[in-house]
Structure 1
Amino acid sequence: MTLTLLQEFSVKRRAPELIGPALAPKSHEVKQLSDIDDQQGLWFQVPLIFFYKNNPSPSMKGKDPVKVIKEALSRALVYYYPFAGRLREGSDGKLMVDCNGEGVLFTEADADFSLDQLGDDEIKPPCPYLDELLYDVPGSEGTLGCPLLLFQVTRLICGGFVLAFRVNHTMCDAFGFVQFLKAMEEMAWDNAKAPSLLPIWQRELLNARNPPQISCVHHEYDQIDPIKATLRTKNPNDLDHKSLFFGPKEILSLRNQLPPHLKNCTTFELLTACIWRCRTIALGLDPNEIVRVSFTFNIRGKRFNMQIPQGYYGNAFVFPAVCSRVDALCGSPLGYAVELVKEGKAKVSEEYIRSVADLMVTRGRPVPTTMGDLYFIVSDTTRTGFEEIDFGWGKPMFAGIAGCALFISFYVNYQKKNDCERGIVVPIRLPFSAMERFQEEIKKMTI
């Protein structure tokens, strides 16, 4: 199969194959997902892409990266065997994994271009060549009964390669997927008998209480009148997909606009406030409407008494939302939005997390607030460790999310190819009519 790229490059792929665990599980299990995992808002697949130079370690010289990664994948699946299964739906919409060992999809490919021929616009998200570098195998795009992981390894003429993935979000979050990739890394390097960090399922840790009790306010699940939601952004074909780069200069410019008591805010709080405000201005919404922004909040670690062990690779986050009237958000200085984001983060507690799980089972696993112009989600992946994954050819020159989902933007680490400036790239989708104004608003705030 040959497909032509935008710059007249081509990719030749072999037929996709199913890769199962190197050793079959001892028994056929059915494992339930947590009540955080199986919420409707996570029923989608996340694409990621890693670019590797031709920089093999002495032990990898002369080896084929396709073969190395395929074998590492199969051996890692011995421990992460649920990934080789299929999701099915039980009573009351509860998702569970049939650990049948059917396998994950794997495609081997060759391309007639080198990494030197790709500029920043081809490497940073949104990757314009994603369809060629991550083949969408027919029938694989769903949630129920579909492969949970899809891989493509594409060799380049320079000796480097591109590794692209697609993972079903109900199975894991970014930290959980990095844990799986690290297990693959260990298998690739030294044929380890087992990962140094063994995977732990224990999804019941994030299940609803018995009886469930919604004890907090969750604006992220507010139901908005579909007519009021002004869903101009619901059709991907009507949307422009671009990304913004925020380096040290841009971050400093934004921070200088804050009052003294907010200047020590985090980069995440600063960017989220800025992008939310500029997006709202660009969409030209009714000044009296209420807009929301949600952001993923990792609940691992010691801050919460959730007893989530190391090795847990399920979804361990909530995404609290904050609200504002359009006129207040657009007409106030940047500090107004920063204060709201900080307040949203501060309200996350163990009780809040438990309340989210209780809401899932009480309200039938609702999707987040009606998507559209009035609601926006951001997810920070800059601390997940994607850029540390080394299968024997060095660390990737870029690793991370390949683009934004329909209403979800991701914060991704990026180093410019030409001047090596480091910063954060944020892909975003907006109607074509709003994208130009959005970029202008960002530019005004970061000069």
Structure 2
Amino acid sequence: MVGKKGGFEVQVKKEEVVAAALPIQEHWLPQSNLDLLLPPVDVGVFFCYKKPAAASGGGGDSSSSAFGLMVGVLKKALAQALVYYYAFSGEIVLNSGGEPELLCNDRGVDFTEAFADVRLEDINFYNPDESIEAKLVPKKKHGVLSVQATELLCGGAVVACSFDHRVADAYSANMFLVSWAEMAQSKPLSLLPSLRRSILSPRRPAGTYHPSIDEMYVPISALPPPKHRRPAAEHLISRIYYVESGQLNHLQSLASDSCAGKKRTKLEAFSAFLWKIVAGRETQPDGTCSMGIVVDGRTRLSTIDGYFGNVLSIPFGKKSAGELRGKDLSWVANAVHEFLEEAVSKEHFLDLIDWVEAHRPEPGLSRIYAAGGGPAFVVSSGQRFPVGKVDFGWGRPALGSYHFPWGGDAGYVMPMPSPAGNGDWLVYMHLLEGQLETVEAQAGHVFKPLTFEYLNH
């Protein structure tokens, strides 16, 4: 199969299924209440590697031989990792109540070997819809996880995955990626995953929760009917930028001004800055702009550091566009801090678990997905993205990034640490085309298109 898109071809060489290295007894694993808040969407992640030093002396045949050895290492380590991460080797099936449940049957992971006739330095990372989507990141067709290893014309490689968000959040995927790399280098696992769903069991009596949860989450039946997008309507597109550490420090300084001695985090400052820019494009006099920020509950529910699954909440703020435009950055950062405070406690996550229990079997969803009245987007912190640790034995990645064009009406933004380890951020942005044009026009000095030259400097 050959697919031509984005200026280069990708040819699939081999497809197989990789199962766990040891037998797994078939069993059912229920989704936790927090898993049930996730719609059926897949998340992509990819890592780009330069040509291994051991393969630098030969021609095409030696490069292919080196890639064959790399694939062998990847498949063997994947089979070993699936013994611990057996949830990734199963299937999602609807139970008799109509809820998704994980069948741990070691169905295995679809593993694709491919070749792309492009050099690493010629890939357009700035536009991942053209260069990454369904080319270097596989489209998951079966199971929970799919993997693709792609050899590049220069002898480099791209290792990419797509996984079902209902089974794992970014923290869980990060754990798996690090464990996979550790297995490849015959290292002991630095963190063993826990799949104890009872950790997230609802309290008793069920159905008692703080009313603030109703302001953040909504049952599916209460959502407005989906809008029919006009042919001329804007589409959500993806871009990857880098933001230099000096700019992040400057934004943090501006956001912390007039905060009564309280320093705002870089994520709060960054999010506030982006909120102002996106709101600046709203032309309706009474228009609003909503922004949510993903909060990981593991640091709040302190007993589940290695928990594998979803432990997320998405608090959000909704302000008038005029107010966001007219106020200084510190005021907007204070607004970000205020809505975040509602979701950074143990009680919030316990209430959220109980909210889901009270509405089951009807699924719920964060209200930010249907905020209405104006633009909306979600910022997810990827600062724990372990790009430097995903070394399978042939060196650290030159680039690692999530790729998540989730298909909803709200935008999505994921800032991650630069592989250079210099304090810069890489930022994956999935926003309306016009919003990205505004970002580049008003803040091009902050959001700079990701290039190979930046990665290679």
TM-score greater than 0.5 by the shorter chain: yes
Deviations 1:367-412 (A, max 9, x none): 2224364432110112231332110011101112025534221112
TM-fit CA distance, 1:253: 4.0
User: 1:22, CA displacement in angstroms?
Assistant: 1.7
Q: Pairwise mapping of residues 412-431 of structure 1 onto structure 2 (< 5 A)?
A: 412-414=416-418, 423-431=424-432
Distance 2:116 2:185 in 1: 25
- Whole-Å separation in 1 of the counterparts to 2:318 and 2:234: 28
SS at match of 1:177: helix
Task: Determine helix, strand or coil for the equivalent of 2:276.
Answer: helix
CA contact (8 A) 2:14 2:114 kept: no
1:106 equivalenced with 2:111 (yes/no): yes
Residues 19 and 237 of structure 1, relative CA distance in 2, 3 Å threshold: farther
Match of residue 331 from structure 2: 336
What one-letter code is carried by the residue in structure 2 that aligns with 1:11?
V
- 1:353 is displaced (CA, Å) by 0.6
Instruction: State the match for 1:399 in structure 2.
Output: 400
Q: CA deviation at 1:199?
A: 2.1
Q: 1:217 to 1:131 in 2, by over 3 A?
A: same
Q: Distance in 1 between matches of 2:378 and 2:230?
A: 14
5+ residue gaps, structure 1: 141-145
Q: Could you say if the C-alpha distance between residues 319 and 48 of structure 1 is closer, same or farther in structure 2, counting changes exceeding 3 Å?
A: same
Q: Tell me if the contact between 1:282 and 1:441 (Cα under 8 Å) persists in the aligned partners.
A: no
What corresponds to 1:143 in structure 2?
none
**1:44/1:305 Cα in 2 relative to 1: closer, same or farther (>3 Å)?**
closer
2:412 paired with 1:408? yes
1:10-409 equivalence runs, <5 A: 10-25=9-24, 27-39=25-37, 41-55=38-52, 62=66, 64-118=69-123, 121=126, 128-136=131-139, 140=141, 146-190=142-186, 195-210=189-204, 211-218=206-213, 219-221=215-217, 226=224, 238-258=235-255, 259-261=257-259, 264-284=263-283, 286-301=284-299, 304-308=300-304, 310-347=305-342, 348-363=344-359, 364-369=362-367, 370-371=369-370, 373-406=374-407, 407-409=411-413
Percent of aligned positions that are identical: 25
In the superposition, relative to structure 1, how do residues 196 and 21 fare at CA in structure 2: closer, same or farther (>3 Å)?
A: same
Deviation at 1:54, TM superposition (A): 2.0
SS at match of 1:179: helix
- Contact 1:415-1:422 within 8 A present in 2 as well: no
CA contact (8 A) 1:86 1:100 kept: yes
Number of aligned residue pairs: give it.
Answer: 423
Alpha-carbon shift at residue 236 of structure 1 (Å): 9.6
Q: Is the 8 A contact 1:251 1:446 kept in 2?
A: no
Say if 1:233 and 1:431, in contact at 8 Å, map to a contact too: no
SS in 2 for 1:78: helix
Unaligned regions of 5+ residues in structure 2, if any? 56-64, 449-457
Alpha-carbon spacing, 1:18–1:186, altered in 2? closer, same or farther (3 Å): same
Distance across 1 between alignment mates of 2:223 and 2:196: 37
- Does the CA contact (< 8 Å) of 2:313 and 2:349 recur in 1? yes
Match in the other structure for 2:453: none
Matches of 1:246 and 1:339, distance apart in 2: 22
Q: 1:305 to 1:133 in 2, by over 3 A?
A: closer
Determine helix, strand or coil for the equivalent of 1:71.
Answer: helix
Deviations 1:200-259 (A, max 9, x none): 1112212322313121413332588748x9886999973343344321343244345342
Question: Do the aligned residues in 1 keep the contact of 2:290 with 2:375 (CA within 8 Å)?
Answer: yes
Partner secondary structure for residue 359 of structure 1: helix
Question: Counterpart of 2:36 in 1: which secondary structure?
Answer: coil
SS of 2:83's partner is coil
Matched to 2:100, the amino acid is: L
